[in-house]
Amino acid sequence: MNELIKEAAKLMELKYDVMLGDITKIAYTLDNILEAVKIITVLGALEILFGLVGVYLRGHGYRMGNKRGFEAHSLKAARVATAVIARIAERGRHWYPRAFQVGLEDFNKLVDSLSPSPDILAVAEDILRRKVGGK
């Protein structure tokens, strides 16, 4: 988990502690949204997560609203989203009960539920690509 946060921090050009705090806040916000929504699938939870990550990146000056921006920053988005999921898994059901309930606690189960592909970054990039393309 630390390595995922270190990679995200490096890509975002932030200190590790700042990135850890940001990842934790995104995970907490995601869990609160999932609690408010009540009925959601794992794919819906990922859509919400990538929306939060997109807002986070935009707040740091990374725009992904067109193909060029998406190509330039999709790896950052995928790394941040992956680090959020790892943080949820690390801290556990006590901290993020709704995220656990929809299935965001385990990379392997998450990937299995979304796609036959074992590459979570590919799944994440596919979701981002669909959001940018409007599909």
Residue pLDDT, tens place only, 56-98 = 998 998 887 777 877 878 888 889 998 999 899 899 889 999 9
Tens of pLDDT along 4-39? 899 999 989 999 999 999 999 999 999 999 999 877
What pLDDT score was predicted for residue 120? Answer: 65
What pLDDT score was predicted for residue 69? Answer: 77
pTM of the full structure:
0.76
Tens of pLDDT along 105-114? 766 666 565 5
Q: What is the 3-state secondary structure (H, E, C) of the chain?
A: CHHHHHHHHHHHCCCHHHHHHHHHHHHHHHHHHHHHHCCCCHHHHHHHHHHHHHHHHHHCCCCCCCHHHHHHHHHHHHHHHHHHHHHHHHHCCCCCHHHHHHCCCCHHHHHHHHCCCCCHHHHHHHHHHHHHHCC
For residues 34 and 48, give the distance between their C-alpha atoms in angstroms, rounded to a whole number.
9
What pLDDT score was predicted for residue 62? Answer: 85
